[in-house]
Structure 1
């Protein structure tokens, strides 16, 4: 095949057809150092592949800078950036492939639609503060944060482009002749003492980016880069048009001296103060709520109705299923529910599972992509994805009920207090639904900040002053409130089959973690412990709590810790190699870990050693789940992988399910759901599917 062609003369008049084994489909954009192409992996995953211009590929210094960019991008690859999939900085034309993230840049958004609304600005500032926190934690300074390097994805802003010089973008050079940034978004020290630039320069750039998003211009504005440089160093910023509640914080970001600027953590604390506070008032009857009527569950017709007729003709058997406890990181906030004005008619009842289970797949919303996130309870699968929540029959995937929801409900539905709780309105509200029919039983606002989790029929909410409040999931009434001892805002967690909820907080230097076990129903403290390390709980079984010890700077997992409450003894198992972005699941004293880049391994805390390690070739995966025989992981391309729990050998995997709309990148991959020997999972093409967990080789 002939190579792709670009119009015009010069080094890029003829573009390459491949970068490594990735076929380049089209040009997404071109900068001073390289061209970014849309490409696909072998499995069909959409990628953005950056290829260095031919003229710079011959320059050893530029190759060195590109190697640095690849290394930096790999270190920060996570929720707030475009994860690196592959790279070859030593190729004839060096290249790097990241996941393709759909959405405009901030620059394009403002140019096409004008300045952002205040609420959008607050979310943008919070998202960029979180991104810079993670970037700085791994020792990286971006140095070129600007509107064209911020992608506005569905799940929040993403920071891109780490370390590429663009000598054609500006006349300003360092003494070596290489660009150190983009003038309107550079900090004073980048002009005065570029060799001393640190993380605070990115905070200054964040302030400039916010002014641009709020007004369509920068805080220092001129056609001449030299005039802009003078203004940045000597003049006060122009914040005309910036919302009054954000202007003081933006002004602090634009301080002339680095030490006068806030850190990302301080920014997030300040933004929590700006955001509206929440309370825990009792639910109010749903019929009293003002505003337009809520959409009712839509009737299910077509193939599902035909299945209903067939159900009456089939022999029924009893479904014996293991009840799964539900854990959701980040549940819901202030209370404002409950009264029942819904019609009494219920949705279709699920049938029992036939003795001969057959794999199935169902796409409840056929016209749109999006990964459903599912949970199991009361003999049903409850799933949510952008714009819709639905219940499925676990036996064959038949849709039992389905209802639209406003905005993107990105959290897994939670069955608690006899109701299904699901996020709506972009995660700002919580709807409580009847699990049998999907009818709305009430709604309430969620808190803007703070830890939250469901446990034992209760919703627990944590506030910045270390107060934890218990709210009944069914009625919405506040049962208790108490201040938890610790270092800072506690994180909350709960785990299936465990009677306690856990509040953890870590010291500022990251050397100690306090963990407090709380009775969800009463708020009584069952026990407290202060343990060594920067710890996060990942499971609780058999009188023990399992935690990961993380590097405070990079976030990499460096050890598995088991704390036994009866003996108050701690066992620490160091990992042979630190794992980036590790997610974990616990089964019978064994902690299974899935890391960014595909490393999957098992650690036996009884024996105090690593059982096995597998390079799964999965660029991104969910938290692992085990039934004792196999460990299951969902990949970003929709595959479900099964690994032998004893040997670490891959024993089965399903085909990818990217679909025709494969340009959506999943912010969080929900783990697979296990019930009665079957495995259920969602895929990017909008499919929910089920397979027999006892025979992965047949998948």
Structure 2
């Protein structure tokens, strides 16, 4: 831990910075503390200015934020806040009060076999859940594992592969540390996926047990050559189950290695050791780390120790519940309400009730006319896969593998939930009324259940990890997968109707446009496919990487790219009707079409802009730069933001004044 430098910021978002705790290729990492009353400690990564200005590298940081948020689960520090659109982007995750595994072994020496197996048990479970979500870490190594007395934690998701979006990999797959890289990753010729993580996992355990990596050399070129031509050095690993596991996972050919699920199964045959059985030399390292925290934080360090005590279940942070300060009104704003918790999911309107869900998993019901909060529902885990309308209700997926069905009523919120056997990363709604079904992407499969009874109608186990949204098109359900394909399944029984290979698809998912389904590929092409047969209707250039869902209306599909272009394509032949630029040449955070179909509404660094759907000319602008998601409504739109504010914006001039209320949120829980 080092003191802040004269040119370091003292504050990022709602976090005050305390000291420097690390640095990497893309930026610096600081220890920060959130404003009262939560007072949570955070590890805050601040991206270097030159990286932030790079049109190639800024999308990688957006990818990292999405990956950390989507990964969730035990063993990965939760995302607390982020601002990917700032001049120097940053993200804040929960601070883990422990040294890296690299430092622990450097100072304490190689660890005993039972300690390494216990650490491996936890790490394998975390990586297996990550792979089940369609993500690969791609830079697993001892310096990216933090250890506490309770368990290890995996950090640094800057090289995570969102499996369906190779466009966000700005260099070869060989990025990362060659000392721990699988041969196919060191070669840079193949895509580093699950087997590469298995190799790096075993290489990390090898270091923990012996103090040396599988490959060493004079420089990175020498190490890389050895990784491609020589067997790994496993000397020093004691005979027994650890040696068998490491040998199996370090095989040269990726197809010969076990999957992470198989590794987890091997390591969970015995009882889970709680706490991890560290030797005395390791405990002395923990004591020195704790002493350093106490010297910096004083009595506040005791809170970190209590939260991380062995056997103690980690509690999620909660948003503030004291009456918040109401931000100033903007012109054309009917009301604004701040929840002081990051919001990036578009809200939903059910009658006169507006439902908004925060990133940490709190769903608020608000009176749409006045903006007054009515109810609050704790979903129990961070949100995954957004919030979809389900007739007169909504469905929300959360990081613990749960789908929540919430219906507003006179007596409050009717809430039912169903657990799925794998992490949920997308939810769709097919049908209406009593015949409605929820289609859930969990792990690498799709399942359809009745919304009212949760009875399973069908399941397809090997679709691949769904990326982006699930699109119902009447008799079919269309989705994109990490295999680079677009698939359509029959709504009634899950029978496959068609599949189109695109090589790789963007993470936004498909968009409906008349009889067509429009999908953007990671190579910058936009394909229109017939919704019933999958037949290609037309193909066009997006002019860059599409990163937010497209919007279709009135014979036009509108798309935005990371590079900052906004383009309207003709639904008939895919030709461009007009092209506009987003603020500062950077991709908008959100895009949609007004309810009356007259204009495109987009949120970028300059605020909310309305572009005429016919010619792309700017019609209106609101100076609200923190907006992260939009929901068009009759006569205007509802905007939510990275600052936690929910705003109802009016297109008319008569109701340009803002009406706000400071309600004690204690009363609505």
Same fold (TM over 0.5): yes
Q: Name the structure 1 match of 2:517.
A: 546
Give the distance between the partners of 1:572 and 1:371, measured in 2 at CA: 32
When residues 687 and 504 of structure 1 are mapped into structure 2, their CA distance, relative to the original with a 3 A threshold, is closer
Aligned residues: 513
When residues 49 and 258 of structure 1 are mapped into structure 2, their CA distance, relative to the original with a 3 A threshold, is same
Query: Structure 2, unaligned stretches of length 5 or more?
Result: 10-16, 31-43, 68-85, 105-114, 148-152, 161-173, 269-318, 326-330, 658-669
Asked if residue 473 in structure 1 is aligned to residue 473 in structure 2, the reply is no
Q: 2:576 aligns with which of 605, 610, 613?
A: 610
Matches within 5 A, 1:63-74: 73=57
Q: Name the structure 1 match of 2:550.
A: 584
Aligned Cα root-mean-square deviation (Å): 5.9
Match of 1:80, SS?
helix
Which has the larger Rg?
A: 1
* 1:643 Cα deviation from its structure 2 partner: 2.0
Tell whether the 8 Å contact from 1:200 to 1:261 is kept in structure 2 after alignment: no
Match of 2:92, SS?
coil
TM-score with structure 2 length normalisation?
A: 0.59
Tell whether the 8 Å contact from 1:421 to 1:431 is kept in structure 2 after alignment: yes
Matches within 5 A, 1:363-402: 363=338, 365-366=339-340, 368-371=341-344, 373-385=346-358, 386-402=360-376
Give the distance between the partners of 2:27 and 2:516, measured in 1 at CA: 49
Give the distance between the partners of 1:37 and 1:676, measured in 2 at CA: 44
Asked if residue 428 in structure 1 is aligned to residue 401 in structure 2, the reply is yes
Q: Name the structure 2 match of 1:561.
A: 528
Q: Name the structure 1 match of 2:93.
A: 103
Q: Name the structure 2 match of 1:460.
A: 439
Tell whether the 8 Å contact from 1:208 to 1:254 is kept in structure 2 after alignment: yes
Match of 1:360, SS?
strand
When residues 79 and 49 of structure 1 are mapped into structure 2, their CA distance, relative to the original with a 3 A threshold, is closer
> Which deviations, in whole Å up to 9, do the C-alpha atoms of 1:254-294 show, x marking residues without a partner?
22x255566xxx95786999999xxxxxxxxxxxxxxxxxx
Give the distance between the partners of 2:650 and 2:630, measured in 1 at CA: 13
Tell whether the 8 Å contact from 2:635 to 2:652 is kept in structure 1 after alignment: yes
Give the distance between the partners of 1:409 and 1:569, measured in 2 at CA: 35
Give the distance between the partners of 1:458 and 1:419, measured in 2 at CA: 12
* 1:214 Cα deviation from its structure 2 partner: 7.4
Tell whether the 8 Å contact from 2:128 to 2:261 is kept in structure 1 after alignment: no
Match of 1:596, SS?
coil
* 1:494 Cα deviation from its structure 2 partner: 5.2
Q: Name the structure 2 match of 1:645.
A: 613
Match of 2:126, SS?
helix
Give the distance between the partners of 1:201 and 1:524, measured in 2 at CA: 31
Give the distance between the partners of 2:438 and 2:3, measured in 1 at CA: 59
When residues 379 and 157 of structure 1 are mapped into structure 2, their CA distance, relative to the original with a 3 A threshold, is farther
Asked if residue 523 in structure 1 is aligned to residue 493 in structure 2, the reply is yes
Give the distance between the partners of 1:362 and 1:273, measured in 2 at CA: 47
Tell whether the 8 Å contact from 1:562 to 1:605 is kept in structure 2 after alignment: no
> Which deviations, in whole Å up to 9, do the C-alpha atoms of 1:186-220 show, x marking residues without a partner?
55799xxx8x56558887874475458879x5354
> Which deviations, in whole Å up to 9, do the C-alpha atoms of 1:25-61 show, x marking residues without a partner?
99846769897488xxxxxxx9824379xxxxxxxxx
* 1:453 Cα deviation from its structure 2 partner: 2.3
Q: Name the structure 1 match of 2:649.
A: 691
Asked if residue 676 in structure 1 is aligned to residue 634 in structure 2, the reply is yes
Q: 2:180 aligns with which of 185, 192, 198?
A: 185
Q: 1:598 aligns with which of 558, 561, 564?
A: 564
When residues 645 and 499 of structure 1 are mapped into structure 2, their CA distance, relative to the original with a 3 A threshold, is same
Tell whether the 8 Å contact from 1:37 to 1:50 is kept in structure 2 after alignment: no
Query: Structure 1, unaligned stretches of length 5 or more?
Result: 1-5, 18-24, 39-45, 53-65, 84-95, 136-141, 163-178, 277-297, 305-355, 659-668
* 1:688 Cα deviation from its structure 2 partner: 0.7
Q: Name the structure 1 match of 2:602.
A: 633
Give the distance between the partners of 2:629 and 2:267, measured in 1 at CA: 31
Q: Name the structure 1 match of 2:141.
A: 146
Tell whether the 8 Å contact from 1:106 to 1:147 is kept in structure 2 after alignment: no
Tell whether the 8 Å contact from 2:134 to 2:465 is kept in structure 1 after alignment: no
